Structure 1
C-alpha cells in the first residue's frame, strides 16, 4: 500500500478478515533462539514481545510451555522480535537506543511493543471461499529480511513511514526517512505466507516459505506456487520508534540520516535496507486455526479467541540473561564493541 490511515481503515473494516492486536514489550536483550539458538549474548540487540517461554533455546510446542504473554490475545504465546533502532550522533558518533511507543488504536494500557497482524488474504478481500488458510504448526519459525542487504529492491514488504501523527502515516518508503518525522518512524515487516507443507524451519529460516507478492504487503497476492502450496496467515509487525526526541540533534541539510539498526558497525551499512524480523509460533491448541476459519472479522478476536486486559499482559516478564547497558549513550552498540 502507498499510504495508510486508521480513519480509512475504520470505513472499510467490515470487509476485512484477520487479526490485529497489540503486544507490549517483553524484553530487550541479545537473544535469538531462531538464528543463534543457545547463545546468550547474540550478535545484536533485539526488541521482543509475546510469551514468557522466550529463552536462548526454544524447541517443541511453545504454546504449551508459556504461562503468560504480553499480547492482548491471551492464547498467543508466540514470540515476535526485530532489531533495535539506534540514533547515531552526527558529531561524535556515539549511539543511544530509540524507545518504542504505542501504535494508534491499540488496547488501552499497551506499553511500547508491536502491533501484530494475521491476515487471511489481504486487507480488502475475504478469499476463504477459494482457499483454505492453514495455521502454523508447533515448532514453526521463520525470518524475513536480511541485515546484510544493500538494495531496497530485495526487501519485499519491509517498509518505513515518516509519521506526521500516529494516525497519519504518509507514503511508504524502502529505507529510513531522510527528513525529520513529527511523530516518529514507523517500521513494517510483512512475512511470506506460502509454506512448503513439510518443514517447520530451514537452514536459512526462509526457504521453507515463499513470498508470492511483488512488492507491497497488504495487497492481493497470486496463488502459492507448487513448491510452496500451503497458504498460511500473513504475519505482519508494526513498530513505532519515537525518534522525535532526537529531532533537535541533527540537520537534514548537512547531516547524514542518523538512525541505524542494532547491527551497524564500521564498514557495514546499518541503514534500512537490512531490516529484518523473526517469528516463532506459540498459539495454544487450535486457537489460531479457529480464528482463520472465520470471515469478516477484524480486531475482535474473530469471535473465538480469549482476550486479556493489558494491565494483566504487562505483568508478564522474563529474566534478563544478558546483563549490559542498553540505555544511555554508548561508543558502540551492544555486541558491536569488538567488531571491525
Structure 2
C-alpha cells in the first residue's frame, strides 16, 4: 500500500510531460445519473456533482457547446464529474447523516467542497519507448469506473479505486481498498482513477466501461503500459480526488465498532465505490493542453482559469426535490 503526502505528489509531478490538476466546486447534490440511468428522475441513489451547468437527467450531444457556466477552475471545462455520496450511519438508532465534502489540499482559494480533477498524459511519468500519442475525447463521450455491486473479493482487484485515512490534509496515510477501520483525524480521501485506453469508435457502451481498457495493474498513478489492439487509442488519464469530512462523526464512532460510513447506494463496503464522467470541454481547449509539454497545474498556456468566486456562482436547479440533509431515517431513494 502506498502512503502519500503533498511533497511526495510534488515529486511525482516533476516528471510529468503535460497535465492538468484543478478543483471544481460542488455544482449540485441530487438523485440524477444521466450516464447509467438517463432520463430517470430521480435515479436510484444520490450523487455529488461538479462541473458545467448543462447537468440534468438526460444529457446528449455537445454539452460543452451548450454550457454557460462551470464550477471548475478551468473556465473552458463544462464536463461533469460525479460520485456517490458518503453517509454516516448512527450506530445506535440507525439514522443517516450526509457527510460534507471539504477542499483538497493546495486547491485554488475559494473552492467550495467539490472534487480535484486530473488530466494527465502518462500517469505522471513517461516512457518514451512505450507511450502513445494522446487523443482527446469527443463530444458525447462518457464512461464510468467501479461498480456499486462489487464485493470484497472483486474489490481487492479494483484498479485505481482507493481510500486514505487522512492524518492531516497534507498527510494522506497509507492507501487502502476499503473504508478505514478507525476514525480519521482529517477525513476520508477517495480516489477514482479511470481507464486511459479507448476503442476509438464508441462514445459509450452498454455497461459504460467496455469501450475503455485499463492497462494499470493496481495503483492509479503509475506508468501506464501501451494500449492493446482492442482499445488502441490513448486518451487523457482522468482521475478524481474527493475529501469527505468525517471528523464531525468521530465521537460517535466507538472504539472497536465496525465502520459506520456507507455510500448512498446502501453500500457499507468500500469496494463498491464508483464514479461517472461526461466530456464537455469547449472546442479544442483540452487538446491544446494535452499537446503541451512540461506544464502542470496551470492552464498549459492555452486554458483560461477563472476565479473561484465566479465558479461558485454557477448552479443548476433542484430537479428532484427531496431532503438530503440533517438526520434522516433512510437513505434517499431507499425505504
Same fold flag (TM > 0.5): yes
Q: Deviations over 1:270-318 (max 9, x none)?
A: 3100000000000000100111101121101111111100000000000
2:4 equivalent in structure 1? 4
Alignment partner for residue 277 of structure 1, among 268, 275, 278? 275
1:195 equivalent in structure 2? 198
Instruction: Find the aligned partners of 1:196 and 1:127 in 2 and give their Cα distance.
Output: 22
Q: Deviations over 1:105-148 (max 9, x none)?
A: 00000000000000100223375994211100000000000000
Q: What is the deviation of 1:252? A: 3.2
Q: SS of the residue aligned with 1:74?
A: coil
Q: SS of the residue aligned with 2:258?
A: coil
Matched, 1:324 2:314: no
1:333 equivalent in structure 2? 331
Q: SS of the residue aligned with 1:154?
A: coil
Q: SS of the residue aligned with 2:189?
A: strand
Residue 130 of structure 2 contacts residue 225 of structure 2 at CA under 8 Å; is this kept in 1?
no
Q: SS of the residue aligned with 2:218?
A: coil
Task: Name the count of aligned residue pairs.
Answer: 332
Q: SS of the residue aligned with 1:115?
A: strand
Mark the CA change 1:226 to 1:208 in structure 2 (over 3 Å): closer, same or farther. Answer: same
Mark the CA change 1:296 to 1:328 in structure 2 (over 3 Å): closer, same or farther. Answer: same
Q: Deviations over 1:241-280 (max 9, x none)?
A: 0000000001131x1100010011xxxx531000000000
Q: What is the deviation of 1:8? A: 2.5
1:237 equivalent in structure 2? 240
Further displaced range: 5-14 or 311-320: 5-14
TM-score, length-scaled by structure 2: 0.97
Matched, 1:263 2:255: no
RMSD: 1.3
Alignment partner for residue 173 of structure 1, among 172, 176, 196? 176
Mark the CA change 1:212 to 1:165 in structure 2 (over 3 Å): closer, same or farther. Answer: same
1:299 equivalent in structure 2? 297
Mark the CA change 1:287 to 1:105 in structure 2 (over 3 Å): closer, same or farther. Answer: same
Instruction: Find the aligned partners of 1:11 and 1:121 in 2 and give their Cα distance.
Output: 15
Mark the CA change 1:234 to 1:111 in structure 2 (over 3 Å): closer, same or farther. Answer: same
TM-score, length-scaled by structure 1: 0.95
Instruction: Find the aligned partners of 1:100 and 1:187 in 2 and give their Cα distance.
Output: 11
Instruction: Find the aligned partners of 1:293 and 1:202 in 2 and give their Cα distance.
Output: 27
Q: Deviations over 1:186-228 (max 9, x none)?
A: 0000000000010000000000000111000000121111000
Q: SS of the residue aligned with 1:248?
A: helix
1:308 equivalent in structure 2? 306
Residue 90 of structure 2 contacts residue 252 of structure 2 at CA under 8 Å; is this kept in 1?
yes
Instruction: Find the aligned partners of 2:327 and 2:131 in 1 and give their Cα distance.
Output: 53
Q: Deviations over 1:78-119 (max 9, x none)?
A: 000000000001111110000000000000000000000001
Q: SS of the residue aligned with 1:10?
A: helix
